[in-house]
């Protein structure tokens, strides 16, 4: 077989595998009725909007707002009242106790990798609002490999064209680059679109759950008149991240802690991945260091503590984005 034939055959088989994989993902995604999609659980909303890191942000903000935690400079967390109302808050108290000096970045990293937070993602996956990271990991890697291979093969074809190689096409055949262009362009398009689909964590039902709550978040000023301050802060952070915090000093502490991790990403496995983004962003998707949800990119795979599933949770694999897009456009 000539180089051109190998390109068409290789990219054709790879693209077919990706398209079949996209169909399988669509068929295996649980069907959720719109009426069953909404959730009013603050931890679940935070996970849908921003992944494990957003859940940690929300718990820390709520506990600070109602006086159980104090976050002071330079990003130090201390416990005022050792009271937890749910497993995630218990994980916060455990993380503070296990962190000498109470560094906010380290506490945040420990919380988002705790079994309690990981289990929030597991529940959402079981209900069809999220896809577990390991469910599409292999296909996502194949899609990424196809994108790189398409670009590399085109450059090889260009070099062969400049070298005057006809690749079995006869003296009047067009250059190799022109002959392989349709295959390379198709392979690149399929790879990019399918990689985006396989990277997407949130399903259509998950987006509906967020859409049902987000209009309410627009009226935060009105909520302050009828709900406790910690409820307002919790909802704001869950849906919009720490940038939505009304407490400017607390917001600055989160920003400084994020900057400290960025400057020294390997200083502590527990603090890696501290972030505050609009998707599963910068933090992790179940276990990794990356982003998703409302437009982030990545539900990545970084360290996840000990064990294969973050202290017992499932869905602790690699992952990568959850933004829009799709191969075949479905969920």
pLDDT at 98: 92
> Domains in the chain: how many in total?
2
Same domain (yes/no): 165, 228: no
Same domain (yes/no): 23, 11: yes
Task: Output the 3-class SS for the chain.
Answer: CCHHHHHHHHHHHHHHHHHHHHHHHHHHCCCCCHHHCCCCCHHHHHHHHHHHHHHHHHHHHHHHHCCCEEEECCCEEEECCCCCCCHHHHHHHHHHHCCHHHEHHHHHHHHHCCHHHHHHHHHHHHCCCECCHHHHHHHHHHHHHHHHHHHHHHHHHHHHHHCCCCCCCCCCCCCHHHHHHHHHHHHHHHHHHHHHHHHCCECHHHHHHHHHHHHHHCCHHHHCCCCCHHHHHHHHHHHHCHHHCCCHHHHHHHHHHHHHHHHCCCCCCCCCCCCCCCCCCCCCCCCCCCCCCCCCCCCCCCCCCCCCCCCCCCCCCCCCCCCCCCCCCCC
Same domain (yes/no): 188, 54: no
pLDDT at 171: 66
pLDDT at 263: 58
Same domain (yes/no): 56, 69: yes
pLDDT at 264: 56
Would you say the pTM of this structure is higher than 0.85?
no
Taking 50 as the pLDDT cut, the residues of the chain under it are: 218, 220-226, 265-285, 288-330
Same domain (yes/no): 140, 210: no
pLDDT at 272: 38
Any domain includes 175? yes
Any domain includes 295? no
Same domain (yes/no): 22, 168: yes
Give the residue numbers spanning the domain of 167. Answer: 3-30+134-199
Which residue, of 232, 263, 294, is where some domain finishes?
Answer: 263
Any domain includes 220? yes
Which residue, of 199, 219, 254, is where some domain finishes?
Answer: 199
pLDDT at 231: 74
Same domain (yes/no): 138, 127: no
């Amino acid at each position: 077989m000539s180089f051109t034939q190998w390109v068409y055959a290789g990219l054709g088989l790879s693209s077919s595998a990706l398209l079949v994989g996209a169909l399988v993902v669509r068929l295996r995604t649980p069907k959720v009725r719109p009426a069953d999609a909404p959730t009013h659980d603050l931890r679940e909303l935070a996970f849908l909007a921003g992944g494990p890191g957003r859940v940690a942000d929300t718990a820390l903000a709520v506990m600070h707002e109602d006086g159980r935690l104090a976050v002071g400079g330079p990003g130090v967390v201390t416990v005022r009242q050792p009271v937890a109302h749910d497993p995630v808050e218990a994980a916060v108290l455990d993380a503070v106790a296990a962190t000498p000096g109470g560094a906010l970045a380290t506490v945040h990293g420990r919380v988002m990798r705790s079994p309690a937070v990981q289990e929030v993602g597991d529940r959402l996956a079981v209900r069809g609002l999220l896809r577990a990271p390991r469910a599409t990991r292999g296909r996502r890697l194949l899609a990424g490999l196809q994108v790189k291979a398409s670009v590399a093969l085109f450059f090889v074809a260009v070099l062969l064209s400049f070298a005057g190689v006809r690749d079995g096409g006869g003296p009047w055949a067009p250059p190799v680059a022109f002959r392989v262009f349709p295959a390379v362009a198709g392979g690149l398009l399929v790879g990019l679109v399918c990689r985006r689909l396989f990277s997407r964590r949130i399903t259509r039902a998950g987006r509906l759950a967020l859409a049902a709550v987000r209009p309410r978040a627009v009226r935060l000023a009105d909520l302050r008149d009828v709900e406790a301050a910690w409820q307002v802060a919790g909802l704001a952070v869950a849906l919009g991240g720490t940038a939505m915090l009304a407490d400017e000093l607390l917001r600055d502490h989160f920003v400084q802690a994020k900057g400290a991790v960025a400057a020294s990403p390997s200083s502590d496995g527990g603090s890696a991945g501290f972030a505050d983004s609009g998707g599963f962003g910068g933090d992790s998707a179940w276990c990794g260091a990356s982003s998703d949800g409302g437009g982030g990119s990545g539900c990545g795979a970084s360290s996840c503590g000990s064990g294969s599933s973050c202290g017992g949770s499932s869905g602790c694999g690699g992952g990568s984005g959850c933004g829009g897009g799709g191969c075949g456009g479905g969920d």
